[in-house]
Amino acid sequence: MDGSNLLAVLLSTIKTRFAAITSRIRLWTSWNFIQSRIITRIRVFFTDLLDVRPKNPKDYYTVFGWMISKRLAYAAVILTGVVSIWYIVAVRHVFSGLIGDGGIRTYAYDDIQLRFARDTVRITGKSGYLAYEGQVARGYANGTGTLYAPDGIVVYQGTFEKSRYEKQGTSYYPTGAIQYVGQFHENLYEGSGKLYREDGSLWYDGDFTRGRKNGEGRLCDAGGGLIFEGQFANDEIVYATFLGKSTMEVNKIYGGARRIWQSDDAYSVYMSDIGAIYSGVTDSGSLKDEVMVDSIYVLSDTFPLGARDTDSLADITATLGLPVYEGNSRVILPEAVSICVLNETSPVMSGPVQMQTEQLFSDVTQVNSLDENYSVYLTAYQNGGLIYTFVSQGRNDHFDFYSISKAEGSQN
């Protein structure tokens, strides 16, 4: 027998010896065998578990004189666990219907489960519309998110704290146009921000306090041009900032339309975009003969008192104290211009003041004389180095406009 035949016989013997082992390994590793063994064991387990008949006294628990089968107790525990697992799976199935696109869970606004939600969710309003999408914590909108109106228009987009607008955000008009971009605190504008008109043009860029323009800011016209740049307080321009400025300095902070009335060396300039008239005389000491502002007339029948406006002289007296002057006075140029401008839109006082004028340019009027019989009633108060003079037709609790000037000797 040659070497090759001997090797073949040897391999055949080895295969024969290990064939049975290989077959067993294949059987044990087949899924059908494993599945069959598992099912068999489960069947035996439950058969034994459900055989709750006690075999001897040791198979009982004694509770308050009652004898309870241990096997029955075990079966009850197992069944309770199975039912609990089934319930959890069922609940998960029910809540899976609340999962929106992208795996974001959706809750009704009054859903108690919302108090335990975290991260990003969707919240529906009372009628079922999408009211909010964003981060939540402890039942509040907390973090970044978007608030929607019932018609689907975005109301606010930005940061929330306890469901209030906070820190950086953007609010929108009902049309969907941007209304404000900037900082918030407790739903109100707070800090720096920008207000926009509904047509998308920038209206105001500056500081806010409690939702009102307060601090440094600038007003812009619809084309983006500067109207006014300076101080604001409680949503109003601080008109007193014009006092003591030259026309050149005024031009730096006011860029809107203007109309000029002049009489000798006195000037009254109507700043129509901010509803005010500044008055002054030519500075004889200036080489450029510039007009220096000595008073500013605000064409409004309300006056800011802190965070509120009032049209009552009684309110003003209660805040500023008794008037330093009160009585009738012959009308002067800036008062006459103020009365005529106001009468262009609605009748005030005793009607326009009659003036003899010449039109020098389209926006410049030379005033040669005023109606000497036209009188006004003045009520003046002094506060903080300023004189506030309220102008009316006669003595009453209301006024048609007011002026601001520096008190004599004041350095403010």
Helices 31-50 and 70-96 pack at an angle, to 10 degrees, of 120
Helix (H) or strand (E) holding 82: helix 70-96
The pLDDT value recorded for residue 338 is: 98
The pLDDT value recorded for residue 10 is: 62
Q: What one-character DSSP code corresponds to residue 407?
A: P
Phi and psi of 329, rounded to 5°?
-150, 145
In the Cβ-directed half-sphere of 98, how many Cα atoms lie within 13 Å?
18
Question: Per-domain residue ranges for the chain?
Answer: 8-96, 104-231, 254-406
Long-range contacts of 45-53 (CB under 8 A, 24+ apart): 49/74, 49/75, 49/78, 50/75
Neighbours of 354 (CB within 10 A): 14
The pLDDT value recorded for residue 93 is: 44
CATH tag for 104-231 (out of 3.40.50.2020, 3.30.365.10, 3.90.1640.10, 2.20.110.10): 2.20.110.10
Phi and psi of 391, rounded to 5°?
-110, 130
The pLDDT value recorded for residue 5 is: 64
Q: What is the mean pLDDT of each run of 10 residues along the chain (412 residues)?
A: 59 63 68 75 67 59 62 70 66 48 81 88 93 94 96 96 96 97 97 97 97 96 95 95 95 96 94 97 69 96 91 96 96 97 96 96 95 96 96 95 89 58
The pLDDT value recorded for residue 312 is: 97
Q: What one-character DSSP code corresponds to residue 290?
A: P
The pLDDT value recorded for residue 71 is: 64
The pLDDT value recorded for residue 84 is: 74
pTM, 2 dp: 0.71
The pLDDT value recorded for residue 97 is: 45
> What is the C-alpha to C-alpha distance for residues 364 and 268, in angstroms, rounded to an integer?
10
The pLDDT value recorded for residue 46 is: 65
List, in order, residues 6 or more apart from 278 with CB less than 8 Å away: 242, 250, 268, 269, 271, 293, 295, 296, 297
Give the type of residue at 4.
S
The pLDDT value recorded for residue 78 is: 73
List, in order, residues 6 or more apart from 394 with CB less than 8 Å away: 377
The pLDDT value recorded for residue 29 is: 72
List, in order, residues 6 or more apart from 326 with CB less than 8 Å away: 378, 379, 380, 395
Alpha helices in 328-383 (DSSP H): 333-343
- The token pair at 50 is 């459900």
Pairing of strands 188-196, 178-185: antiparallel
